[in-house]
Amino acid sequence: MEMVINNQKTTKAIMTLQKKAEQCSEHIRKHSSALVVSHIDADGLTSAAIMCKTLERAGIEYRTRFLKQLDMVSLRDIADRYPELVIFTDLGSGMLEVIKSLRLNAVILDHHMPHGTYEYHLNPHLFGINGATEISGSGITYILSKALGYNNDLADLAIVGAVGDLQHMKKGQLVGVNRTILEDGAKSNVLRYEKDLLLFGKQTRPFFRLLQYSCDPYLPGITGSEDASIEFLKKIGISHHGEKWRRWIDLGQDEKQQIVSALMQFCLSSGMSAGNVTRLIGEVYTLLREKEGTEVRDASEYSTLLNATARYDHADIGLAVCMGDRGKSYNEASILLNEHRKNLVEGLTLVKEQGMVMMENLQYFDSGNKIRETIVGIVAGMSSSFVINKNLPIIAFADSEGGVKVSSRGNYDLIRKGLNLGAAITEAAKAVGGTGGGHDIAAGAFIPKDAKNEFLKLLDGRIGTQIKIN
């Protein structure tokens, strides 16, 4: 398996990446303190945690700062404090020229499309590695970390970041450099990977809730209904033991198999394509040092726990969890997680009720001030499971201070046809006086409030051209 997924090209690219990492690590080593600046999502938090642990082990002092996006204002503010060294993780590649012009002494560890050049810049795109599917910000930071010392035990955090960025979704398993990191983790006994049901919540939820909350795939008549979920399981002879429903991890292998088969049959008979049905199963990643039945045991649940902190202005709590706090910070994160879940459900309900506005090459919804700008992208991604037209990318708007936040999500069928949301959004945002960036499959922007219609027109045209040319 490993041979097929990691071909010679990848191995060579990893070697050049490691060489560049050596150069960046030599530069870091010359300093006694650093400011770590990172992004407010699961990948950004795990990137920062890997960096902080690495610096701690190397005897270098550090402080941290988390940002929604790296813009001119935040960069000026950083420069005004004259840090000895700034290490950007999971962001920075879009602002290389500005970083240079502000004369910041920086190391940039990122996986977003780069604009410009910088001496100490580690980014997969520079080595022909795909930053949306083969390595995330946390993976790049991990490669740097290994150049600074023996830090293979941090592979588990790198995998949580990659899963948080949904890098395993394209093939139902991690590929490319992520695979190499996974092997490091397995060899160091910090994680395990295996094929299993992909539904969310296997460690922590009573298993009927996995059906009730299943968004991808959307189970018609079951998703959203507690009664229908329990009924489905009862029909195939599976119910609770005594008073309590068991969790997925408490079930026997036979019972698991029985549920998976019944679910597959159900999906096929509801008209789902065979390809989508197979998406019920995929690779899952278990963190072996964590207690069973807790969010942090499963990479996917861990990343959601982290998103519940930093996306709500509590990056300090998420970072403390990544650094190992399983007491106070973990409890605080769990409380935030309940809020986050509630917000996601409310957001999805709003989108369902409001529906999508259709244009020729895209569909969009405007949540106004009803969905927080920091989670509107997650809601847009989740809503793809129930939108009627799956052949158009989803664009979402949310009010933001001084403008509008845009999020967009595509799918791999559209990418094969030529869609590149990162490029389209960057151009359309720039044309209306905003800024944007991201990947082919998911991108975002910040635009002026009165520019929405013009932006939509430009974006619709740009996406149309991308898909027609190819």
- Which residue number, 34 or 423, has a Cβ lying nearer to ligand C5P? 423
Q: 139 and 111 in contact (C-beta within 8 Å)?
A: yes
| From candidates 90, 156, 373, 440, binder to Zn ion by CB under 5 A | 90
State the pairing for strand pair 403-409/394-400: antiparallel
Please report the sign of the dihedral spanned by the C-alpha atoms of residue 16, residue 412, residue 304, residue 267: negative
Binding to ligand C5P in span 76-95, by CB under 6 A: 90
- Which residue number, 69 or 385, has a Cβ lying nearer to ligand C5P? 69
Which residue number is nearest to Zn ion in terms of Cβ? 43
- Tokens representing residue 57 in the block: 């082990």
Work out whether 445 is an interface residue with ligand C5P (CB under 6 A): yes
Shortest distance (Å) from residue 106 CB to Zn ion:
18
Q: 50 and 142 in contact (C-beta within 8 Å)?
A: yes
Shortest distance (Å) from residue 245 CB to ligand C5P:
29
Shortest distance (Å) from residue 328 CB to ligand C5P:
27
Work out whether 306 is an interface residue with ligand C5P (CB under 6 A): no
Q: 87 and 78 in contact (C-beta within 8 Å)?
A: no
Residue with tokens 């290389």: 96
Q: 281 and 172 in contact (C-beta within 8 Å)?
A: yes
Binding to Zn ion in span 145-174, by CB under 5 A: 165
Q: Which window, 129-137, 190-198, 209-217, 257-265, contacts Zn ion (CB under 5 A)?
A: 129-137
The site map against ligand C5P for 378-417 (x = CB under 6 A) is ---x-------------------------x-x--------
**Distance from C-alpha of 158 to C-alpha of 181, rounded to nearest angstrom:** 8
Binding to ligand C5P in span 93-152, by CB under 6 A: 112, 137
Please report the sign of the dihedral spanned by the C-alpha atoms of residue 374, residue 328, residue 161, residue 17: positive
Find which of Zn ion, ligand C5P, none residue 441 binds, CB within 5 to 8 Å per kind.
ligand C5P
**Distance from C-alpha of 9 to C-alpha of 7, rounded to nearest angstrom:** 5
Q: Which of 74, 77, 104, 56 is nearest to 319 (CA)?
A: 56
Shortest distance (Å) from residue 39 CB to Zn ion:
6
Find which of ligand C5P, Zn ion, none residue 182 binds, CB within 5 to 8 Å per kind.
none
What is the maximum alpha-carbon separation in the chain?
67
Shortest distance (Å) from residue 152 CB to ligand C5P:
23
**Distance from C-alpha of 110 to C-alpha of 118, rounded to nearest angstrom:** 12
**Distance from C-alpha of 216 to C-alpha of 233, rounded to nearest angstrom:** 19
**Contacts with 435 (C-beta within 8 Å, 6 or more apart), sequence order:** 69, 71, 429, 445, 446
Work out whether 298 is an interface residue with ligand C5P (CB under 6 A): no
Shortest distance (Å) from residue 390 CB to ligand C5P:
14
Q: What is each CA distance from 148 to 172, 309, 398, 412, 455, in whole angstroms?
A: 32, 29, 41, 36, 44
Work out whether 439 is an interface residue with ligand C5P (CB under 6 A): yes
| From candidates 361, 436, 440, 459, binder to ligand C5P by CB under 6 A | 436
| From candidates 114, 377, 393, 403, binder to ligand C5P by CB under 6 A | 377
Find which of ligand C5P, Zn ion, none residue 69 binds, CB within 5 to 8 Å per kind.
ligand C5P
The site map against ligand C5P for 247-286 (x = CB under 6 A) is ----------------------------------------
DSSP 298: B
> Under rule CB under 6 A, how many of the chain's residues touch ligand C5P?
25
The site map against ligand C5P for 31-70 (x = CB under 6 A) is --------x-x-x-------------------------x-
Work out whether 301 is an interface residue with Zn ion (CB under 5 A): no
State the pairing for strand pair 435-438/357-358: unpaired
| From candidates 147, 162, 169, 287, binder to ligand C5P by CB under 6 A | 169
- Which residue number, 165 or 184, has a Cβ lying nearer to ligand C5P? 165
Q: Which of 341, 304, 400, 79 is nearest to 213 (CA)?
A: 341
Work out whether 444 is an interface residue with ligand C5P (CB under 6 A): yes
Shortest distance (Å) from residue 91 CB to ligand C5P:
7
Count of alpha carbons within 13 angstroms of residue 48, beta-carbon side: 29
Find which of Zn ion, ligand C5P, none residue 217 binds, CB within 5 to 8 Å per kind.
none
Q: Which window, 101-109, 318-326, 330-338, 444-452, contacts ligand C5P (CB under 6 A)?
A: 444-452
Q: 380 and 408 in contact (C-beta within 8 Å)?
A: yes
**Distance from C-alpha of 50 to C-alpha of 385, rounded to nearest angstrom:** 33
The CA-CA-CA angle for residues 232, 235, 240, to 5°, reads: 80
Residues of this chain that bind ligand C5P (CB under 6 A): 39, 41, 43, 69, 90, 112, 137, 165-166, 169, 377, 381, 407, 409, 435-439, 441-446
Binding site for Zn ion (CB under 5 A): 43, 90, 136-137, 165
